Amino acid sequence: MKVQVRKAETVSIVDCSGDVDLYSSPTLRDALLAELQSGVPSVLVNMTEIGYIDSSGIATLVQGLQLSRQTKTRLGLFGLRTNARSVLELARLHKVFNLFADEQEALAKIGSLQPFGGL
């Protein structure tokens, strides 16, 4: 798994590629939690290149969601493939995460959302 962080104005975008599993989820966790604690108002996770995500990857996203509530940071996910979306739907987490189809939609809408939405 590869994780890179970039900025788009006041939004941090965490770009991920590869599989998110027990062995690679700490890489995503470190980057996501660091951005949520950095003071930016919004963080987006780019999942367009995630081919597979298991329960440890979902746990990482939930941990990020919980931290976003504490830091009053908006958190969103975009570009979910069928596998990742299915896992979130199965766990009914699609109702608590801010999900967007693509980066353009995410950047356009994330700033208008209430911080720390979800759980």
Task: Report the amino acid identity of residue 66.
Answer: Q
Q: To which residue do tokens 């353009």 refer?
A: 104
pLDDT tens-digit series, residues 5-60: 999 989 999 999 999 999 999 999 999 999 999 999 999 999 999 989 999 999 99
Domain 2-109 in CATH: superfamily?
STAS domain (3.30.750.24)
Residue 3, token pair as written in the block: 């994780």
The pLDDT assigned to 119 comes to 43
* Closest C-alpha among 54, 38, 40 to residue 1: 54
> What are the phi and psi torsion angles at 6 (to 5°)?
-140, 165
pLDDT tens-digit series, residues 64-107: 999 999 999 999 999 999 988 998 999 899 899 999 999 999 99
List the beta bridge partners of residue 100: 78
Alpha helices in the chain (DSSP H): 25-36, 55-71, 82-90, 103-109
What pLDDT band is residue 116 in, cutting at 50, 70 and 90? Answer: low
Task: Report the amino acid identity of residue 107.
Answer: L
Q: What is the pTM of this model?
A: 0.93
Q: What is the DSSP letter of 114?
A: P
The pLDDT assigned to 83 comes to 87
* Domain-wise residue ranges, the chain: 2-109
Q: Are β-strands 74-78 and 42-53 bridged in parallel, bridged antiparallel, or unpaired? A: parallel
Task: Answer whether 28's CB lies under 8 Å from 19's CB.
Answer: no
